[in-house]
Structure 1
Amino acid sequence: MKIRFLGAVRGVTGSSHLIQANDKKILLDCGMYQGKDEDLNYEEFEFNPSEIDYLLLSHSHIDHSGRIPLLVKKGFRGKIYCSKPAYDLCGIMLMDSAHIQESEAEWKNVKARRSGRALVEPMYTQEDAELSLKYFYPVLYDQIINIDENITVRFKDAGHILGSAITEVWINEEGTTTKLVYSGDLGMKDKALLRDPSIIESADYLIIESTYGNRLHENLETRTEGLVNIILDTVERGGSVIIPSFAVGRTQEIIYELNKFLECHADEKSNNRKKFMDIPVYIDSPLATKATEIFKQNANVFDDEARRCILEGDNPLEFENLHFTQSVEESKILNASKEPKIIISASGMCEAGRIKHHLKHHLWKKESSIVFVGYQAEGTLGRKLIDGEKYVKVLGEEIRVNAQIHNVQGFSGHADKNALLEWLRGFSDKPKKVFLVHGEAESKLSFAEEIEKTLKLSCIIPEYNKVYETKKQQVIKEIAVEEVEETRPRSIDVSQIEDLKKEIEKIKEIFEKTMANTKDYIEDDNLNAKKYKDISNNILALENEILNLSMASTK
């Protein structure tokens, strides 16, 4: 087995790792670079996309999924496995990303025409994004997937965002089975809406994130109270609260926590509750609005507390003074209005989207507050504001920062150092090597030292585009990239295509009948969990067979 690290190696964005075993090539994530590294998105892939057999996607965040349409545009025709909620979210996120690529290219071309420079093309279009979705194969958590005769995969809940997964991969080479585990992004325990990250008991090799490998999250118990206090203080002085938030995950978590605050004080004559109910809360992000609907549709993967709320008739993603905007006109009205308000808008790092317009209108106002609730990568506008810069450029205009800047700890979607170490302690069969990715250099170095000191595990901080090889679970060694580059012809017996098409139609008919017959059971709240999982697994397995046959007939 050979592992080649191609993204989230020098920082926290652009996640992508290439696994080569037997004659197959497997990509773990295909993320977009953000912040200081965003120019890397336009460089050629370090591999031939048409030679990738499988892509195993940990979750839908753009820094893990954002270059999938580009991969397909460049020739990928393999299979993309991920959880069902991750697939649902990619359906809106990749289309949104494509729209941003098209809009930015159009804006650059307006300037290019004026100056006589060459025009640019978007990285990919909405048509490319829509095409890429045809290669997705959604599966359930805990479902065993035999993607070929020598490779088995299972996704476990990572507790990071809806549909996020820890990826387990069993690879049989020369009669020896090696297990590789990829953590993806791990969430904190007791995170709103989501289950705790699954414990993995064994691995031969582990690739783990290290975003907060040298830091601890503070104020976990008081984070919502702290946020509410900032809101009330800001409104008291006549200002508005602007919260840059990731459209998927963080926005829904904040909605949930604010709803929980209202519920916890429902039976009290709470002055703070009354004040808060008088403040309009706007979710000003079409993507966040769509994502919230997908969250509601996938409530079966929520944690016990959230599902209990739903069964009791309380939707945890709704409350009385919460409003969702849609049009650009509605968004503009928010900034024209002088009434104190809360605006939650994407992007979370202030790099694109409507948040830039809200910052342009509020950063210079001393009565306003900008509240950050998530990680800000180096080079992003969000990071500059947290670092205390007094002048920033927003939409081409230099703005004086007079607003109060807050960084509320405890809402992070990533596990901190202690939570990562606790998760690592769950391995009863310890990995031989631990590869640290998805972290700044200082964080990875510090975390590697902590792991080796406290857990006695051997760590490697991989270098970009370096290949690490293991044979029969022996010691990892570095090898030259040239030694692993191969090309393999793809072929299929053309005479089988018509037979395959007929078989597909039969299977589709069976599948539709199965769905009709099991619908009442799936919707029955009293059906025990095991029966539900068995039925769902059978349906998904059948659906995957249909997709497998369809793909084979078109190659």
Structure 2
Amino acid sequence: MSITLSVHGAAHTVTGSCYLLQSGKTRFLVDCGMFQGAKTLKALNYADFPFSPAEIDFVLLTHAHIDHSGLIPKLVKQGFEGPIYATHGTIDLLSCMLPDAGHIQEFEVENLNRRNAQRGRPQVTPIYTVADANDALRAFSPVAYDTWVEPADGIRARFWNAGHILGSSSIEIEIETGLKQPRKLRLLFSGDIGPDVKSFHPAPESPENLDYLICEATYGSREREPMTLEARRDLLATEVNAALNRNGVLIFPTFAVERTQELLADLLALVATKRVRDVPIFLDSPLAIRATEVFLDHADDLESGEEFRRAMRSHQVRTTETVAESMMIERVDGSHIIVAASGMCDAGRIRHHLKNRLWRDNTTVIMVGYQAEGTLGRILLSGAKAVRIQGEEIKVRAQIRSLDVYSGHADGPGLARWVAERGPVLRGTILVHGEEEGLTGLHERLADLGLDGERIFAPDLDEVFDLLAEAPEARRRPAPRRLQPEVVGRQDWHNDLSKLWLDISEQLEKAADDRARNVVLRRIRRALEEGQDERPQDHK
């Protein structure tokens, strides 16, 4: 009998979490998430799964974030018929998140197909629709924390609070091996581990004494200053007051789930104590509005649930459900605050607000979450002077700020402590859900704590582990790969093309006159022609 683990996402990148385990004839997934970031990576969402959905027996889901759950409707659409096990909080959040993701697919593909028709390009089909998402919700089966479920003979799983978002879990799995030693194989998938400072959840909990630990490394290289809830609010007050004193608009790109609710609770607390002046706060995200209602329904399960209930009764928060209501925010005079999704600025209504506001020097944009490589949010944080949004060039005159106190992830020391507390880990620690810096940083921290560096792995996309082999030889590389390792988690040619367009535009603007502009254009044309001339030689 063999037991294998295939890493089909979140490998050298922070999105697309998806792990396939096979034990004898049983095949199941832990997570089935959507890829985000560079277009080359997002193209995997449209491609075939690297496995047959119809052959998957069940799914264990760590939490509701789309990078962990967002391809479940596609899985069901393509033939998966088994149960999906998740906590009550996760299922309640996904009841609004997955249909919203389907709506975004339909809306964005409709717009893309309109542009494709104008350009003579082929039409594109959505990854899935709202109807597909609603169909997938019927497959969910709720589980309680710290309670064993047995979804297949010889396999059982237990969900532990991960302290990340409402309903988030680390998942412990025991698999009968059919061998005398080891009789059972014990694995733990961390999911996303919450930080030390958070408004709603207690510290993460998990078991010890494992064979394998599959651990996230999002902030593995980062160390945050010790922080209390009041200190976090002080930092927020400083940033908000600086933005409002410029008599402009303050924009928060946020993730609709958890980050939005924590941010709103802190903003309203600051207004209530007069540490921030009373200005309109627009919650401009239908998903965040519905997710907030789920949080209110679960307020009794939150550590500061009653305070959150009181805060959300405030008159300051104005919700904008429809597109028309969202567009009307542009007409509001005076300083105000806009909280809109998505957190990485790559989808949703935030792009509309950035198009309208980035070029104004009294605008402030504050990032409060992780910005993956290749996303608009990461490009803005890197200091870009201009960006392209939906094919349009937008100058960046706004203040771009980062407030890394609302992350839903533990920092490097926090992750290292959490891993150390799970010990001993007998066979191997597998680092996932991290870019190069995070993976390297956490690997070094764990080695410094005494873990065997030879038994700490950072797999590439689609790499397979033989979990019953001796750990250092536990890997083999399949072929062909969906993406080569050097492409994953980095800016791609689409990002380079956007920057090239902006560079060309800047050179033309700087040129003294039309004659100088024509010189620039002739040089570009000549370079293109030389590239055409060289192409046949490359194939000799």
TM-score normalized by structure 1? 0.81
1:282 pairs with 2:303: no
Deviation at 1:395? 2.7
Instruction: Indicate conservation of the 8 Å contact 1:178/1:473, yes or no.
Output: no
User: What secondary structure sits across from 2:121 in the alignment?
Assistant: coil
Instruction: Indicate conservation of the 8 Å contact 1:369/1:405, yes or no.
Output: yes
The one of 149, 155, 160 equivalent to 1:156 is 160
**Inter-partner Cα distance in structure 2 for 1:318 and 1:384:** 36
Instruction: Indicate conservation of the 8 Å contact 1:189/1:195, yes or no.
Output: no
Instruction: Indicate conservation of the 8 Å contact 2:416/2:442, yes or no.
Output: no
User: What secondary structure sits across from 2:132 in the alignment?
Assistant: helix
Question: How do 1:336-375 residues align onto structure 2 when only pairs under 5 Å count?
Answer: 336-375=331-370
**Inter-partner Cα distance in structure 2 for 1:476 and 1:54:** 28
Over residues 306-349 of structure 1, what are the superposed CA-to-partner deviations in whole Å (9 max), with x where a residue is unaligned? 14647xxx534443312222121211111122221000000000
Deviation at 1:475? 6.2
1:325 pairs with 2:310: no
1:224 pairs with 2:228: no
Instruction: Indicate conservation of the 8 Å contact 1:92/1:287, yes or no.
Output: yes
Instruction: Indicate conservation of the 8 Å contact 1:25/1:51, yes or no.
Output: yes
**Inter-partner Cα distance in structure 1 for 2:326 and 2:108:** 19
The one of 46, 64, 76 equivalent to 2:80 is 76
Deviation at 1:48? 0.7
**Inter-partner Cα distance in structure 2 for 1:423 and 1:431:** 16
User: What secondary structure sits across from 1:109 in the alignment?
Assistant: helix
* Equivalent in the alignment of 1:213: 220
Over residues 388-410 of structure 1, what are the superposed CA-to-partner deviations in whole Å (9 max), with x where a residue is unaligned? 00101123221111111110121
1:53 pairs with 2:48: no
User: What secondary structure sits across from 2:63 in the alignment?
Assistant: coil
Deviation at 1:13? 0.7
The one of 450, 474, 481 equivalent to 1:455 is 450
**Inter-partner Cα distance in structure 1 for 2:426 and 2:223:** 24
Deviation at 1:367? 1.1
> Are the structure 2 counterparts of residues 17 and 153 from structure 1 closer, same or farther at C-alpha, using a change threshold of 3 Å?
same
Instruction: Indicate conservation of the 8 Å contact 1:206/1:431, yes or no.
Output: no
* Equivalent in the alignment of 1:4: 6
TM-score normalized by structure 2? 0.83
**Inter-partner Cα distance in structure 2 for 1:207 and 1:167:** 10
Instruction: Indicate conservation of the 8 Å contact 1:255/1:318, yes or no.
Output: no
The one of 30, 33, 36 equivalent to 1:31 is 33
* Equivalent in the alignment of 1:15: 17
User: What secondary structure sits across from 1:352 in the alignment?
Assistant: coil
* Equivalent in the alignment of 1:247: 256
Instruction: Indicate conservation of the 8 Å contact 1:285/1:345, yes or no.
Output: yes
**Inter-partner Cα distance in structure 2 for 1:91 and 1:154:** 22
* Equivalent in the alignment of 2:269: 260
User: What secondary structure sits across from 1:160 in the alignment?
Assistant: coil
> Are the structure 2 counterparts of residues 118 and 395 from structure 1 closer, same or farther at C-alpha, using a change threshold of 3 Å?
closer
**Inter-partner Cα distance in structure 1 for 2:330 and 2:288:** 19
Question: How do 1:57-68 residues align onto structure 2 when only pairs under 5 Å count?
Answer: 57-68=61-72
> Are the structure 2 counterparts of residues 453 and 236 from structure 1 closer, same or farther at C-alpha, using a change threshold of 3 Å?
closer
**Inter-partner Cα distance in structure 2 for 1:207 and 1:319:** 42
User: What secondary structure sits across from 1:415 in the alignment?
Assistant: coil
Deviation at 1:381? 0.5
Deviation at 1:107? 1.2
RMSD of equivalent CA atoms: 1.9
Deviation at 1:453? 2.2
Unaligned runs of 5+ in 1: 483-555
**Inter-partner Cα distance in structure 1 for 2:119 and 2:460:** 40
User: What secondary structure sits across from 1:315 in the alignment?
Assistant: helix
User: What secondary structure sits across from 1:241 in the alignment?
Assistant: strand
> Are the structure 2 counterparts of residues 145 and 139 from structure 1 closer, same or farther at C-alpha, using a change threshold of 3 Å?
same
> Are the structure 2 counterparts of residues 91 and 431 from structure 1 closer, same or farther at C-alpha, using a change threshold of 3 Å?
farther
The one of 403, 409, 416 equivalent to 1:421 is 416
**Inter-partner Cα distance in structure 1 for 2:218 and 2:470:** 28
> Are the structure 2 counterparts of residues 253 and 455 from structure 1 closer, same or farther at C-alpha, using a change threshold of 3 Å?
farther
Q: Could you tell me which amino acid in structure 2 is paired with residue 179 of structure 1? A: R
> Are the structure 2 counterparts of residues 56 and 473 from structure 1 closer, same or farther at C-alpha, using a change threshold of 3 Å?
farther
Instruction: Pick which of 188-197 and 160-169 moved more.
Output: 188-197
**Inter-partner Cα distance in structure 1 for 2:366 and 2:297:** 29
Over residues 258-293 of structure 1, what are the superposed CA-to-partner deviations in whole Å (9 max), with x where a residue is unaligned? 233355x3xxxx5x35xx2x2111111010000000
User: What secondary structure sits across from 1:7 in the alignment?
Assistant: coil
> Are the structure 2 counterparts of residues 358 and 22 from structure 1 closer, same or farther at C-alpha, using a change threshold of 3 Å?
same
Instruction: Indicate conservation of the 8 Å contact 1:153/1:170, yes or no.
Output: yes
Q: Could you tell me which amino acid in structure 2 is paired with residue 478 of structure 1? A: R
Instruction: Pick which of 421-430 and 27-36 moved more.
Output: 421-430
Unaligned runs of 5+ in 2: 480-540
1:196 pairs with 2:200: no
User: What secondary structure sits across from 2:5 in the alignment?
Assistant: strand
How many residue pairs get matched? 468
The one of 428, 441, 447 equivalent to 1:433 is 428
Q: Could you tell me which amino acid in structure 1 is paired with residue 153 of structure 2? A: E
Deviation at 1:373? 0.4
Instruction: Indicate conservation of the 8 Å contact 1:3/1:19, yes or no.
Output: yes
